[in-house]
Amino acid sequence: MKRGVLIVLSGPSGVGKGTVRKALFEEPDIDFQYSISMTTRQPRNGEVNGEDYFFVTRDEFETEIANGDMLEYAEYVGNYYGTPKKFIDQTLAAGRDVLLEIDVQGALQVKEKMPEGAYIFLTPPDLAALKERLIGRGTEAMDVIDRRVSAATAEIRMMANYDYAVVNDEVSLAVNRIKDIIKVERLRVNRVLPEYIKMIEELEA
Ligand SMILES: Nc1ncnc2c1ncn2[C@@H]1O[C@H](COP(=O)(O)OP(=O)(O)OP(=O)(O)O)[C@@H](O)[C@H]1O
Ligand SMILES: Nc1nc2c(ncn2[C@@H]2O[C@H](COP(=O)(O)O)[C@@H](O)[C@H]2O)c(=O)[nH]1
C-alpha cells in the first residue's frame, strides 16, 4: 500500500497558519488528516482539549519526550509544543495524507527525519502585518506579542530551508497556492499519475 503525503505548514506565530489550514480543510477536494499537537500552554477561550491541542502539564510532556513518543518538539516562548509520533506513523502507513501545523524549530526537526515530506513556509506580507495580526487576534498580552514578533525575525531567515514559500496576503489566495503545491506533491510521489495518463489517453482517443 502507498504511504500518505506529509505536508508541514509552518511559519511565524500570527502569520495565519491556523486560519489558512481551516480554510484549506473546507475545500471539497482536500482530504487530509490533521495532526493535533501537544502543548503545555494554557487553553485560550474556546479552545478544546483533543481538538485544538492536547493540553498537558510540563511533567506529562517531559514523560512523552523521555518515552520517545514525540516526532518533534520545541520550547517556544516559554511553553512546550510537540507532535505525537504514533498518529503520524499510523496515518501515513494507512495511506492517508496528513498535515502538521508547527513552528519553525519543529518543522526543521521533522525535515531531518522525514525529508520526503513537503515543507511549506507561510510568510506574512511584512513584519508590520504580522504584528497587526497578533494584536488583532487579541489572545496574547503585548509582552508575549513582542516576543513572538522577535522570534519571527529569526524564523523568517530559515525560509530557505523549506521546499516552498507561500505569502499569506489573502487567505483564499494562500489556500489556492497550497492546493497547487499539494497537486505537485501528489504527482511527485506518483499518487495521481494514473489519473493524468487516463486523461491523456482520453484526449488522444
Ligand atoms: N491573510 C490574512 N489577512 C489578514 N488577517 C489574517 C490573514 N490570515 C490570518 N489572519 C488573522 O491573523 C490572526 C492570526 O492568525 P492565526 O491564528 O491563524 O495565525 P497562526 O499562524 O496560526 O498563529 P499561531 O502560530 O500563533 O497559532 C487571526 O486573527 C487571523 O484572523
Ligand atoms: N514545534 C511545534 N510547534 C508547534 C506545534 N503546535 C503548534 N506549534 C507552534 O507553536 C507556536 C505557538 O502556538 P500558539 O497556539 O500558542 O499560538 C506557533 O508557531 C505554532 O505553530 C507542534 O506540535 N510543534
Does ligand 2 have an atom closer than 6 angstroms to the CB of 64? no
Give the residue whose CA is nearest to atom 3 of ligand 1. Answer: 170
pLDDT at 190: 61
**57, pLDDT greater than 90:** yes
pLDDT at 54: 98
Does ligand 2 have an atom closer than 6 angstroms to the CB of 82? yes
pLDDT at 186: 80
Measure the N-to-C terminal CA separation of the chain; round to a whole number of Å: 31
Q: What is the mean pLDDT of residues 5-33?
A: 96
Measured between alpha carbons, how far is 129 from 82 in angstroms, rounded to an integer? Answer: 27
- Residues of the chain with pLDDT > 90, as a percent, come to 85
Is 18 known as a binding-site position? yes
Task: Please enumerate in sequence order all residues whose Cβ is within 8 A of that of 127, keeping only pairs 6 or more positions apart, or say none.
Answer: 149, 152, 153, 156
Is 37 known as a binding-site position? no
**185, pLDDT greater than 90:** no
Give the residue whose CA is nearest to atom 23 of ligand 2. Answer: 82
- Please give the domain boundaries of the chain with CATH numbers for all domains: 1-32+97-205 (3.40.50.300), 36-96 (3.30.63.10)
Is 184 known as a binding-site position? no
Using a cut of 0.80, tell me whether the model's pTM lies above it. Answer: yes
Higher pLDDT: 52 or 205? It is 52
